[in-house]
Amino acid sequence: MSMITRAAICREPARPWEITDIELDEPKANEVRIKFFAAGLCHSDDHIQKGDAQMRFPVVGGHEGAGIVDAVGADVTRVNTGDHVVCSFIPACGKCRYCSTGHQNLCDAGKNASTGMFADGTFRFHAEGEDLGGLCVLGTFSRYAVVSEWSCIVVPDDIPFDIATLVGCGVPTGWGTAVYAGGVRAGQTVVVYGAGGVGSNAVQGARYAGAKNVVVVDPVPFKRDMAKVFGATHTFANAADAHEFVVETTWGQLADHALITVGVLDDDVIDAALQVVGKSGKVTVTAVGAGKINANPGMFIGYQRRVQGAIFGGCNPLYDVPRLIELYRSGDLKLDELITRRYSLDEVNQGYQDMLDGKNIRGVIIHEH
């Protein structure tokens, strides 16, 4: 039997999020229904809504969320009814080639993220006779959602839902970009481009890894100020000033790493990043690309510079989500400070406008029940 749930949906690119009642099916085998209490306002959802990234429409937004398992389908073994869970936007089946070799962030079960369709080719959300996908097969902008058990990670009951939701995407993506994908090591110099919800956590990751200099580039004063809270040693409004500082502080050796966590990647940012890293320097990209990126091949060959992409920061959800929670408990990871403002579901469009205006590090929707 289906139920009615309140959700924020986007019917087509460039249309605002619409708050409406939709139908939700019962969970099938290996699926669970979650009663969400919090959902993060990640920039990726805005990219979908703006048409910057490919997605099937209409779609229920949200891929960061935390709540309680409300019902389980047949053959579910990973969670139980009543468990507090956070949803990882990357599922982890534990069986595919990538999961079995320690790369859960590349799990084959994530292939339907851009359609919101389940593995059996069907949907769980419906409205007015039309199927709705859930972003990343989640849809956390709905008060209730049916998701794969492979997307669920149990968290301790005493962790607030608004805090837990952060470790489903933005925190591991940024933190892991420094610690895992980037491979930052003690004593190194790191430059982070973009200090939003992902970049702030890249700063935290670089600090945790022991970087000597964590340099942040962001045009927004508020974000630069917050970057210092998260561990930045120096902040700059533009790439040119940051480059000058790096040259001076490293005696011309330049940076070991550049981490690109801007909203939309362009030629200027990639060029600045390639210029700021020295010999054998590494540029790690965690950003949506705008078309093609042009780069001089000599930048790679002459100094053995490397450019790589990263998804979920190279983190493994089943291991790293609990690990990040424990780092939060020990005081080695700041999560409370990430939340600039909490919104109701009806305020989702305002939340994204605040993000675009540079007023938020991370906004969080609090679902009412």
Q: Which residues are known to be catalytic? A: 42, 44, 47, 63, 169
Give the tokens for residue 331: 């005081």
Distance CA 342, CA 340 (A): 7
Residue 223 Cα to chain centre, angstroms: 17
Q: How far apart are CA 111 and CA 98, in angstroms?
A: 13
At position 59, the amino acid (one-letter code) is V
